[in-house]
Structures are given as structure tokens and as C-alpha cells.
Structure 1
Amino acid sequence: MPDSPRPPQPRVLRVAVPTPLRRLFDYRPCQTPPPDGWRPGLRVQVPFGRRQVVGVVVDCVQDSDLPLARLKPVDGWLDADPLPDDWLWLCRFTARYYQHPLGDTLHQAMPVLLRQGRALASRMREQWQATAQGLAADDARLRRAPRQAELLTMLAQHPQGLAAQAILAQGFSRDQLKALAAKGLVACREIPLTAATPHAGRLLAEPPLPLNGEQAAALAAIHQRLDGFHPCLLHGVTGSGKTEVYLQLIEAVVERGGQALLLVPEIGLTPQTLARFRRRFRAPVVALHSGLTDHERLDAWEAAASGRAPIVIGTRSAIFTPLARPGVIIVDEEHDGSFKQQEGLRYHARDLAVARAHRHAIPLVLGSATPSLESLQRARQGDYRHLRLTRRASRHAPARLELLDLRGRPRQGGLIPPAIAAIGETLAAGHQVLVFINRRGFAPTLACHACGWLAECEACDARMTLHRQPPMLACHHCDKRRPIPDACPECGSADLRPLGSGTERTEETLAALFPKVAVHRIDRDSTRRRDALEAVLTQVRRGEPCLLVGTQMLAKGHHLPHVTLVVVVNADAGLYASDFRALEHSAQLLEQVAGRAGRAAHPGRVLVQTLHDDDPHLQLLARQGYDALAERLLEERRAARLPPFRFLALLRLESPREAAATTLGGEAAAALRRWLAERQLAVDCLGPVPAPMERRQGRYHLQLMLAADRRSQLHEACAQLSAWLEASPEARRVRWSLDIDPQTLA
């Protein structure tokens, strides 16, 4: 039977290149086509202005709006096979939904080395194994080479072979390997760094933990529909065993030949999660996060795309990892703000996980002890199956918040006497204490006691934070730094005093109060070195009495079995902020940090210091927990017509000249309002108004908010606004971006 005719080769390639322009660019194919012809998803090198860039073919057509003779040819193709279809679909969906240029979306969604033109191929490693001749060899042949005999015996015990690094780590040498190879007793082959290890029916390296009734019911509910889109909200209190449900669900998916993608919010959670999964499974488990080298990231990406890695664990950007056989997507701590990218391509990994699971027709699990109000509302209206875990794996119930009134009480390092007494009692009992203060540095600012001068940042509407390690004043918004002055720059007084407390000051105070107890500070400053956080947590898990002083890095998902007391230094920071989500986020953070206490043999206690212990929302959270507060907040959001009952988009404008941003914002708002009136679309256009921090990094920031009851109308308005801005000469002198579904107004 003759081969079917190949489709005609295109005369025009529509290529997405990394540029802020929201359009594709037409090129002519080069003279040498790829082996299987031109197809969407192929990476190509193209001339773009005076540069040569890596682009992605998005479409192959026969005609262009420009004469073919004016089109430049592509310089060459980089891949014989296109990038995966599911990855290309996800990027196109992301660019369309978040109103972002497709070329930049594709650029951001691929590993750095692919952006630079490297081949999509894994690095290789040597794998040595005994040959049939080596397995049958007698000891007499190697009687004069005892080390070679030991090496051959070791390889014979590993039929799948051993990596060269593992062999050398056992004290053998390459000369011994080469000598055995020359005799035909061993052979070497190159395999990818991340290679699938056949588990021969033994996927698990350690047995699963027994499930309680709630865990078993939740797992059974997810198992019912492994072959279709089945979104579930796994709503479990801290310490209720959500991770064990994930593990056993992934076991079922991998046994069926599928792959699992698990998203976690922070890079700090990745090492402990990886360690637990690698202990459980014999199959390869790869990680994708910002702490990897470019080569490591490409290796993991390729292993997932090829299907060799059945389990992929990563942070926000891992949602763009292609999977050969997608079987389940899990988003742990789905409420966490880290899943929302706050600059450039402003996507939300949780929402893309929903879209991707729907596209693949696979289960989706969103896990949290404090679900976002968006997810809770979707569960209430039946879009998600609501699975509850109300019991902790330990026998102790979650600790309730005890409110301590700060008013009129002396403080040491931000702590009042009842909190210090409780810390002493806990340490004396041989337990550990976590002191939570969500402000790094020594003090929020430095002040002159004589004239009231405050250390303010010259580039931002913010005060500079006082640091002692090393000593300096630093702005946490623009990273400007300057030395600590010897005297007040306003009046010359030497009476300069720190105002308030940060992690450094609280650490110093606790070290002085409890000199015989180790104090570990965990914040962004103390954990900059790779693996620093995991090294401290490993030491803490040994169980000796100690004090942990940390920011929200400690509040997310860490299992600290010996912590029985949590002290929150100041719970008021988010209660009265201008952002309508601030109370929700503050309550989630308080519940998450409270969940670190009493996770093992001893019950926990949580002390919350506040200047507003009579606040009704805080009282409700303390008495009835997050679920009750979430119900009240949902009713308040419904009455105020705010998400999740409406859809928002935010136009952000910034310029070093305030007048330029104000003028463009006013013109854009007026043009959009005229267009909305002509089209009779029910979209509210609010602003422009200054951002909550108007001046940041030497630039003025303004915002224009769009709100609508229907998502489709909101996107139509956003598309019109983008088109107007791209056509406006004034917009070329002002930096602007659209944020769809903003999670913060800051």
C-alpha cells in the first residue's frame, strides 16, 4: 500500500518570539526542513531586529499579510520533534486568559537552556553492570585481583547496574572498571540522569501508613473517578494527614501507568516533601523549583516530558512541566499566595492546574487547612467535591488561639510577661517553642528620640528596616541599603532608638532570657545559603528543647513534632490593611502557624498577642476557628460584591514621573468608559487611584480596577484596554501591566 501523501509544506511560519508585543511574526521556512516537516511547537532560530532569538512555531500557513518576498527566512530549526502538545496548549491558554503576549509566555514557561537554544535532551550518566560472562565467571580468573573480584561480586548483586558515581563512592577505581571491561566481565552503557527504575511490581520502598476513617473515605471518593476530570477540595485541619492521602493516591495513579504532578507553595517545603516521597517510592521523583541549576531543571523537565519520571514535585512554575501520561494534579496549601506570580506573566498556578486537569480529564486535588474563599465558594456551589478531614493524626485536637492583650504591658523583644513565662514553662518541660514574628530585621525602623526623625527610604513611601546582622538600614521594597547613622541627620542628636521588633531583636532577647537554650532564627536573611533551612530543621527535629524564631517561612507545612507552644508576637498587621483580602490572608497565616503546635505526643498551645483582642473577627477565629470566620467573610464579600462573587482585573501603571502615569491612567479610563457605554457591557471601571504604596523603587504607581459579574465581559474589556494602550504613544513612556484575578492590591 503506497504511503499517504505528505501535506504540502507551508510557505509561511507564524512564530512567537519573546517580546512584549501581543502578536506573532511571519517568517519563510529555511531551505532545509525538519525530518518530519514543519509543525507547531518546533523551536526555531530567527532574526529579530538586530538580534537572533529563539522562537516557537505556532502555526504553519500558506499566506501572509505581507508579500512573501519581504519575509525573512528562519535561520534554522532546533528540534526534530515539536515541544509537547499539552505544553503548547497550556501556554496558549495562559497567554489568552492572562492577557499576556504569547511569545513571552512561551519564553517564561520553558527552562532557561531551552530559551537559549539548547537541545531538549537529558544529560547522560554511566551505568555499569555485569555481563553474562561476568555472572558465570569463577573466582580463579580474578584470584590475583581481589578488588576486581569484589567489584564484580557487587555488580552481580545489582542486575540493573550501578552508576559510576555510586561505584567510585564505594572505594573502587575507574582502572578496576576498565580492567573488568577488557576481560568482558562488565559493560558500560549511558542512560539519562533521571532514568526509570523498573520496580517489578514493587513500587513502594516502605509500606503506607494506616488511614483513619476520614482519610480512607476521602481517598475512596477520589478513586471513584480516576479516569475523568474530578476536582476535589481536601479540607483538612493541620496535621490531619493530607500528605498520606496524596501518597496513596499517587501510588494508585503510578500503578496505572500515569504521572502525578504535586505543587507546593515554597521552595523551603520541597526538600522535606521530596525526602518523604523518595522514601516511599522506588520510582524516580524529580523536583522543579528556583533552587535548581539550569542543567538540573532541564533534566527534570525532560524526564517528565518523556514519561521517565512518574512523580514531579515543584513550586509555582512547575505547572508548566509537560507530562507524557498525566494522571493527577495535586496543589498542596492551595490557598497560599505564593502560587500567584506577582510580576511579568501574572498567572496563578492553582487556577492553571484546574484548567490543565480539565483539559487532560484527570482528577485534581486542592489541599489546605485554610482554603481560599474562592475554592470554598466553588465547593459550596458544587463545582468541587468537598472532602473534610477534621481529626489530627495525633490524638490531640488542634490548639485554639488564646488572645493576649498587649495594651499597657511592658515588652521585651516584642514579648509581654505572660508569653515569656509560658515560654519558660514549656522549655522547662523539655519541649520546643516557636515564636512567630512576620517581620525580619532587628526593628521596623530607627527613630530619633529628640526630634522624631524616622529612617525613611528615599525611593519608596516606606521606612527602612534596622538590621544588626550585618548592621545597616535596608528597604525591603527596593533593597536600598545605607549605613546606620551615628547621629540624627535632622537635629544631630545621638539618641537614636529602634522602634518595634523584628526577628533579630526577638532572637537577641530570647537568647538573653534563656541563655542555656539554643535559639534558631529562620527568615529570608538567615536561610539565603542553599540547604540552610533544611539543616536547621534537621537539628530541630532531634527533639532537644530549643526556641524557633521565624517569619511565615515556618508557618507553611513543616512538621515540627516537638513544638508544643506557638507565640504570635503581633497579630494585628493584617487586620486593618486597605486590601480587602488582608483579613482572609491574616487568618490563614495565624491558623497555619498555630498548626505547628501539638502535632505529636503532647498537646499544643497557641498564644496570640494583639492590641485588639476585642475585634469580632479575631474573636470568632479564636473561638470557632477558620471555617466559621470564612463563612462570615464570604457573606461580607457577597454583600460588598467582591470576589469570589465578582471578577476583577487590575491595570497597573508606573513611571518615574507622576504626571505621566496620572495622565495616561485618566485617558485610558475615559476611553474604556466610552467603549463600555457603546457596547453596553456591565463592567465597572474604577479609578485610576494611587496604589497603596504610591512611590516604590523611585517610580509612581497607579491602578485602574475593572470589575464584572461575568468573566467573559471582563476579558473583553481587558482586551480592548490592552489594544488601546498598545496604540497609545503615551503608553510607550509608562510601564503598564494587566493583572487578571489579582490576589493583592499592593
Structure 2
Amino acid sequence: MPTSTSPPRVLGIAVSSPLRRLFDYRPGGSAPPGGWAPGLRVRVPFGRREVVGVVMECRERSDLLLTELKSVSTCLDSAPLPADWLWLCRFTARYYQHSLGDTLHQAMPVLLRQGRALEGRTRERWQLTAAGRDAPAEALARAPRQAELLAMLDQHPHGLATQAILAQSFSREQLKALAAKGLVDSREEPLTARSQPDADHLLADPALPLNREQAVALSTLHERLDAYHPCLLEGVTGSGKTEIYLQLIEAVVGRGRQALVLVPEIGLTPQTLSRFRKRFRVPVVALHSGLTDHERLDAWEAAASGRAPIVIGTRSAIFTPLARPGVIIVDEEHDGSYKQQDGLRYHARDLAVARAHHHGIPLLLGSATPSLESLAKARSGEWRHLTLTRRATRHGPAKLELIDLRGRPRQGGLIPPVLDAIRETLNANHQVLVFINRRGFAPTLACHACGWLAECDACDARMTLHRQPPLLACHHCDRRRALPESCPTCGSIDLRPLGSGTERTEETLAGLFPKVPVHRIDRDSTRRRDAFEQILAEVRRGEPCLLVGTQMLAKGHHLPHVTLVVVVNADAGLYASDFRALEQSAQLLEQVAGRAGRAAHPGRVLVQTLHPDDPHLRLLAERGYAALAEQLLEERRDAALPPFRFLALLRLESAKEEAANELGRRAAGALRSWLTDGELAVDCLGPVPAPMERRQGRYHLQVMLGAEKRSALHQACAWLTRWLEATPEARRTRWSLDIDPQTLS
């Protein structure tokens, strides 16, 4: 029998694969310095190729004979990957019923997946030696440029990076000459080198004064900095939630801990990053999809090593390892972009809750329009509920004014009274935001003679008309089609745009207000890197202008000169089939309304609607989001829907409709039979077609599982997953399990 210190005979390795299992290998090559342990990356033969995997188990036995096992080719690490990261990946794979190998693969930077070492890039830093500090002035009399370089370095006790020196027109030869004389030396340091200010000198800019509500909220957060302390911060737009984040982080970083801040969109990252870097003297790193692979690895390593006390990122940043976790903050916690909608379908907000609980640290979730799930936890007492009802300015939040669209002529989707209000605002030298959540020129193209509509050949959807460049595009499968010269059904040339999108509204406003700049902000107009920030920088100069945009503009942007917000059509989510649609529409309306009147002048919000008498819409306009959320919670309770019930969605798709139907029927039937035998309290509904049944040329069906207890739901999901993996037909049909789905589409 081997002793406890003997090397293991079998390694259970997680490899990126849809199979929910580990693969057994024999240790091969030289063992790492600390011996084999979970968390080491290895290169292993897998099928006909070599892949990077992660050791998850060290064992003595395998179900296979040891002689049948392949050997590890190479160990890539001298030490395991961070333990907190491994725990989070295990939890994520287990909770979301996903392959552990694929979860690990998705959660690590691309370069680590490819086998690169876990180390950030370095830079060279030069500083004076003792001889350099004591050198007499005449020592470099014959080398005046070297003397100037020595004098410049003397002004920087911590030294300067090579690039900063070269930017001042000095040369490498001059640096080498000083080094040869023993007056300067250099050292390699990580690109993100941690500065070490003490708690009294942590801030580069002083904290802003807090009003009474902010002070009470911050005091509550300070009560338990060393324990799991989940708090929902519900504050109207412009009430100073970010200042509370900053002062909470100041307390955490001052204690030598790290802060992780999640924001919903990449567009919010630059402005948040700028504000945080301006406030703190410590490194603040970002993690989002706009980074290069090297930049992402640098930031990941800086966080894992503890050199970066503050980490800011979008959804995937929840998987960033922290050496000394101190607080997790989720801004705009209600936002749907925190949910990954394909592959590993995790929710970053929910993982933040699990991670904060695991580490025993505070968790702060902020929003002006909290999700019903978070509100339910706050009102039950499970989370602390902190509220901010006052804006930092003297003006309160703007009220929604419902404008009846029925029977009124429209230009670019806008009716005459609204156009008059826009004209008055521009004449007062203020700015106007026109919100329309449809890209393109018009939602579709129609034949005025026979009623033909431009529909996508691969989806149950209409193609959107674009003018820049002129074409028809499907926003679901990204197909493109040239504009037809005549109707393909009747041959008529009377083809007309139907409805309005951002391009059409932009064109209309540019024609009506030719002397005023019109800035369109949507996914099409901001594809170029930094285009969004350049437009916002121009808008913040304060000159009168018109902003036309989608929900990209609604989230968290401070536009101090906007005093009028116009919502072109508020009806999209009122009568949708998804039970979350009304909640999400109300959140979006409140968020976009919050862009008005954030500075010296009061704001106004005009909401165009074909249903001004809808009771939900009127409640939102008259009493605000909190009142509507209260009513929606009661409706959800009566209907046994989340947050009072837990859901999972089995999604099936196939190029052949009957194949998806057959597998759906068999899976639902097998699950119902198993549930009956086990007397588990789980409902199984379906299979039914998805709201958009045909998408990207494939047919989509769904089976919904529901339960009052999360544990019962997960038992059923685990059984269903095993059944599908053991069923040959399931290998010919694409399927996935979505735990806690945020949309039924």
C-alpha cells in the first residue's frame, strides 16, 4: 500500500467537452514541484488531438485498468490555479447542470486555455542607484543628455518605466550608458504593479459629502465588513449609488482586501473605470469582451495575485479569482445582460450571491428598478433593504407623461405635440433623448398593393429595413438580403417601410431640425472601437443636440444636459407572452426616464403609447416602479411563478421538426414517469414550440420544469440530464438545460 505522501496513480482530469464527467489519466512526465494536486493545468491526448485540461481529482483507482489509461503529456503549472476560482467553477457546473470541463474552459482566459503560463506581462522600470543619487553635477558635464535623464529620474523616487522615458525623447543607449556607470539600474515588474498607499493616502480625489439617506446606507454596510451581508440598494436614478460604492470600496481596500464590481454592459465600463481610477491611488483593472487576450490575462493575473485591489468587469468577470476578497458589488442588478443566454447559461448576479456567501464577505446589489427576485428577498428579510429616494440634485425624478398615439399622424414615429416639445427644449439650449428600441430604418418592408411583408427564410421573423447601407437584415440570424425592386408576390413597385427604427427617426429629426446635431447610438452606429465614448464626450460638452438611441443609452449614463426624454413606443412589452416582459419593460422605461433632469434643470419624460389606459402602464406613470413591482409580485404569487417558484427549461432544437418533437415527447414522458414513481413535487409542462419556433433554420421546442423547492427541481434536472446523455436520439438533436431562465424565447 502506498503511503499518503506517495504520488497518485490516477488523475481525474476535466476536459472541455459536453460530457459531464472527468477523464482518467496516469501521471506522466515530471511531477510539478509541489506534487500532483487539483487545479493544475495539464496537456493530455484526447481523441486524435492534444488538449489542455485541469486536474480535479488525485486517486489510486480507476474503473479502467491502469494499463488502458493514457498518460499526461505535460504539466503546465508549477502551482495550482486559485482555490476560490476552482470552488466557483465546481459550484457553477453543479448548479447549472453543465459539464465541469466546459465550465472551467469558459471561466479562464483564452491564453490559459491554450496552455500559456499564468503570468502577466512585465515592463522595465529604471531608478537611481545610491551612486546616482550622490553623483556630483559635474560628473556628466560631457554628456548633457545623460545629465538631464539623471535629473528626471531623480524627480521620481519610485522610478520610471522604459516607455515613459523614451516618450520624453531619451534613448535606450543613454539608459545603458548610465547603467554602465553604476548611476541607474532597472528591474522587471508586472504591468499592473501594486502601489502601496496607506489608508490615509488611499484617495487621489476626496470623497463627496453624503446626504442623510446615503450616510445611513453606508453606515449599515460598514456594520459587517467581515461577514456575509447581502444588501439591496434601491435608489432612484441620480441618487448617488455610485458614491456609496466608492466609499464602501475605500473602507474595504483600506483593510487590505479586494473589491469586485460588476456592471451590465461594456459601454458602462470605460466611464466606471475612469471614475474609479480618478478616485483611488491603487490599480483598478477591467475585465470585459473588448480586451485583447493579453490584456485579459494581465488583469486576471493581477487580481489573482492581489496586486489589483479593485476589479471592474461585465458578466464574465464574476469568474475573476481574488487573493483577498473583501466585497462584491453588482450595479444595475436587474439587468438581463447578467444572464448568459447560450452555452453555460449562468447568471452573474446569482453567482455573486453564492460567491459572497462562500467567502463570508458583504454583497451589495444596486438598482433603481430591482428585479422581482431581489425585491422578494429584501422584503422577506433575507437581504437588507436600503433605499435612496432623493436625487443628488434639487430636482426629483421626472414623472412619466403618457401621450396617446391613437389616430394621430406621425413623422419618424413622433406625433406633432411631441415634436413641439422637442423644439421648445432645443430652443432653451437643452438636449433631447429620443428612445426607440428598434435598430434599422423600419421594422420591415411591406407591399402597399397586396400586403406582402419581407420575412426571413430561416426564422419566424420579419427582416428589418436598413438604409445605411440599404438592405434587409434579420436581427435573429444575421442574414442579409438586397432590397427588392418590386414585390415578389404581385410585382408592384409600391414597397413602403412599415414602422420606425432608429435610422428613420434620426433621418426625420435631421430634416426637421437641420441646425441641430443628431447623434444615433445603437449597435450599428457604435461598432467602431471607442465610437460610443466619442459620441458621449461630444454630448457632455453641453451644446443643444438630439440623441436617438436604443437601450444602450438607458443604462447608467450621466447626461447632465438632457432635460427631455421621448419614448417613441412604450407598448412592446405590455402584452408579450413572456411573463417577465412587463417587468423588463417597466425597468427599461424607468431607466431611460432617469436620463432626464439629472443636473441644474428639471426633466420631462413623454411616453407615446397606443394603450394609455392600460392599468399597469398608468400605475407606473402615476406611482412609479415600486408600486408596480408590488402589484407584479402579488400577481406572480397568485400564478405560482418566480420568485415564488423555481423553473428550469429544457431547450431542444433540430433542423428536422419531427426529430425535436419526438425527443421532446420522449423526454417529458420519461421524466413524468420517474416523477410519479419517486413522488417528487415537480411539474413538467410540454413539449411546446418556443415563442419563435423556427430560428436560424432550426426548429425550437421547450419542456418546462417547475417546483416550489429548489432541491427538488435540481434532482429532476439531474435525472433528466442523465436520461438525455444515455439516449442515442439525443445525440442527434441539440439540447440544453437552462436553470432559472430569464426569458422563454
TM-score after normalising by structure 1: 0.99
Match of 2:59 in 1: 61
Match of 2:580 in 1: 581
231-240 or 145-154, which moves further after superposition?
145-154
Q: For 1:159, which of 157, 160, 163 is the aligned residue? A: 157
Q: Say if 2:42 and 2:75, in contact at 8 Å, map to a contact too.
A: yes
Residue by residue over 1:374-409, the C-alpha shift from the partner in whole angstroms, topping out at 9 and shown as x without a partner, is 000000111110000111011100000000000000
User: Does residue 109 of structure 1 match 2:99?
Assistant: no
> Which AA in structure 1 matches 2:581?
A
Q: Distance in 1 between matches of 2:83 and 2:16?
A: 19
Q: Distance in 1 between matches of 2:720 and 2:121?
A: 45
Secondary structure, in 3 states, of the residue corresponding to 2:201?
Answer: coil
How many equivalent pairs are there? 742
User: Does residue 279 of structure 1 match 2:273?
Assistant: no
Q: Distance in 2 between matches of 1:155 and 1:204?
A: 25
> Which AA in structure 2 matches 1:316?
R
Give structure 1 stretches of 5+ with no counterpart. none
User: Does residue 630 of structure 1 match 2:621?
Assistant: no
Secondary structure, in 3 states, of the residue corresponding to 1:252?
Answer: helix
> Which AA in structure 1 matches 2:197?
H
Q: Distance in 2 between matches of 1:626 and 1:336?
A: 15
**Aligned-pair identity (%):** 80
Q: Distance in 2 between matches of 1:711 and 1:229?
A: 21
Match of 2:19 in 1: 21
Secondary structure, in 3 states, of the residue corresponding to 2:126?
Answer: strand
Match of 2:190 in 1: 192
**Superposition map of 1:259-298 within 5 A:** 259-298=258-297
Give structure 2 stretches of 5+ with no counterpart. none
Alpha-carbon offset, residue 182 of structure 1: 2.0
Match of 1:98 in 2: 96
Q: Distance in 1 between matches of 2:328 and 2:494?
A: 57
> Which AA in structure 1 matches 2:571?
D
Q: Distance in 2 between matches of 1:168 and 1:540?
A: 35
408-417 or 150-159, which moves further after superposition?
150-159
Alpha-carbon offset, residue 170 of structure 1: 2.2
> Which AA in structure 1 matches 2:222?
H
Q: What is the alpha-carbon root mean square deviation over aligned residues? A: 0.8
Match of 1:534 in 2: 533
Alpha-carbon offset, residue 651 of structure 1: 0.2
Residue by residue over 1:352-390, the C-alpha shift from the partner in whole angstroms, topping out at 9 and shown as x without a partner, is 000000000000000000000000000011111000011
Alpha-carbon offset, residue 135 of structure 1: 1.4
Secondary structure, in 3 states, of the residue corresponding to 2:385?
Answer: strand
Alpha-carbon offset, residue 126 of structure 1: 1.0
Match of 1:225 in 2: 224
Residue by residue over 1:621-659, the C-alpha shift from the partner in whole angstroms, topping out at 9 and shown as x without a partner, is 000000000000000000000000000000000000000
> Which AA in structure 2 matches 1:739?
D
> Which AA in structure 2 matches 1:355?
A
Secondary structure, in 3 states, of the residue corresponding to 1:231?
Answer: strand
**Superposition map of 1:332-481 within 5 A:** 332-481=331-480
Secondary structure, in 3 states, of the residue corresponding to 1:497?
Answer: strand
> Which AA in structure 2 matches 1:18?
S
Match of 1:11 in 2: 9
Q: Say if 2:456 and 2:463, in contact at 8 Å, map to a contact too.
A: yes
Match of 2:75 in 1: 77
Q: Say if 2:29 and 2:72, in contact at 8 Å, map to a contact too.
A: no
Q: Distance in 1 between matches of 2:732 and 2:167?
A: 59
> Which AA in structure 1 matches 2:47?
G
Match of 1:686 in 2: 685
Q: Distance in 1 between matches of 2:172 and 2:415?
A: 64
> Which AA in structure 1 matches 2:171?
S
Residue by residue over 1:213-254, the C-alpha shift from the partner in whole angstroms, topping out at 9 and shown as x without a partner, is 111110110100000000000110000000000000001100
Alpha-carbon offset, residue 181 of structure 1: 1.8
Alpha-carbon offset, residue 131 of structure 1: 1.6
Q: Say if 2:447 and 2:496, in contact at 8 Å, map to a contact too.
A: yes
Q: Distance in 2 between matches of 1:149 and 1:208?
A: 41
Alpha-carbon offset, residue 150 of structure 1: 2.2
Q: Distance in 1 between matches of 2:346 and 2:147?
A: 57
Q: Distance in 2 between matches of 1:172 and 1:471?
A: 52
Residue by residue over 1:175-196, the C-alpha shift from the partner in whole angstroms, topping out at 9 and shown as x without a partner, is 2222222222221111001110
Alpha-carbon offset, residue 468 of structure 1: 0.6
Residue by residue over 1:475-496, the C-alpha shift from the partner in whole angstroms, topping out at 9 and shown as x without a partner, is 0000000111111111111111
> Which AA in structure 1 matches 2:137?
D
Match of 1:178 in 2: 176
User: Does residue 494 of structure 1 match 2:493?
Assistant: yes
Q: Distance in 1 between matches of 2:156 and 2:430?
A: 45
Q: Distance in 2 between matches of 1:399 and 1:178?
A: 63
Q: Distance in 2 between matches of 1:543 and 1:10?
A: 67
Q: Distance in 2 between matches of 1:165 and 1:277?
A: 24
> Which AA in structure 2 matches 1:152?
L
**Superposition map of 1:672-711 within 5 A:** 672-711=671-710
Match of 1:569 in 2: 568
> Which AA in structure 2 matches 1:13?
L
Q: Distance in 1 between matches of 2:173 and 2:627?
A: 69
Q: Distance in 2 between matches of 1:7 and 1:734?
A: 47
Secondary structure, in 3 states, of the residue corresponding to 1:707?
Answer: strand
Match of 2:208 in 1: 209
Alpha-carbon offset, residue 138 of structure 1: 2.1
393-402 or 178-187, which moves further after superposition?
178-187
Match of 1:46 in 2: 44
Q: Distance in 1 between matches of 2:430 and 2:177?
A: 57
Q: Say if 2:29 and 2:73, in contact at 8 Å, map to a contact too.
A: no
User: Does residue 301 of structure 1 match 2:300?
Assistant: yes
Match of 1:513 in 2: 512
> Which AA in structure 1 matches 2:735?
W
Alpha-carbon offset, residue 319 of structure 1: 0.2
Secondary structure, in 3 states, of the residue corresponding to 1:504?
Answer: helix
Alpha-carbon offset, residue 122 of structure 1: 0.6
Alpha-carbon offset, residue 39 of structure 1: 0.2
Q: Distance in 2 between matches of 1:626 and 1:145?
A: 71
Q: Distance in 1 between matches of 2:75 and 2:29?
A: 11
Q: Distance in 2 between matches of 1:15 and 1:704?
A: 32
> Which AA in structure 2 matches 1:426?
T
Q: Distance in 2 between matches of 1:476 and 1:327?
A: 41
Match of 1:737 in 2: 736
Residue by residue over 1:84-112, the C-alpha shift from the partner in whole angstroms, topping out at 9 and shown as x without a partner, is 11000000000000000000000000000
Q: Distance in 2 between matches of 1:518 and 1:135?
A: 57
178-187 or 601-610, which moves further after superposition?
178-187
Residue by residue over 1:601-635, the C-alpha shift from the partner in whole angstroms, topping out at 9 and shown as x without a partner, is 11000000000000000000000000000000000
Q: Distance in 2 between matches of 1:208 and 1:31?
A: 55
Alpha-carbon offset, residue 589 of structure 1: 0.2
Q: Distance in 1 between matches of 2:78 and 2:577?
A: 53
> Which AA in structure 1 matches 2:356?
A
Alpha-carbon offset, residue 6 of structure 1: 6.9
Secondary structure, in 3 states, of the residue corresponding to 1:701?
Answer: strand
Match of 2:133 in 1: 135
Q: Distance in 1 between matches of 2:126 and 2:534?
A: 33
Q: Distance in 2 between matches of 1:210 and 1:512?
A: 45
Match of 2:312 in 1: 313
Residue by residue over 1:258-282, the C-alpha shift from the partner in whole angstroms, topping out at 9 and shown as x without a partner, is 0000000000000000000000011
Match of 1:149 in 2: 147
Match of 1:122 in 2: 120
Alpha-carbon offset, residue 61 of structure 1: 0.6
Distance 1:648 1:569, change over 3 A: same
Q: Distance in 1 between matches of 2:145 and 2:397?
A: 58
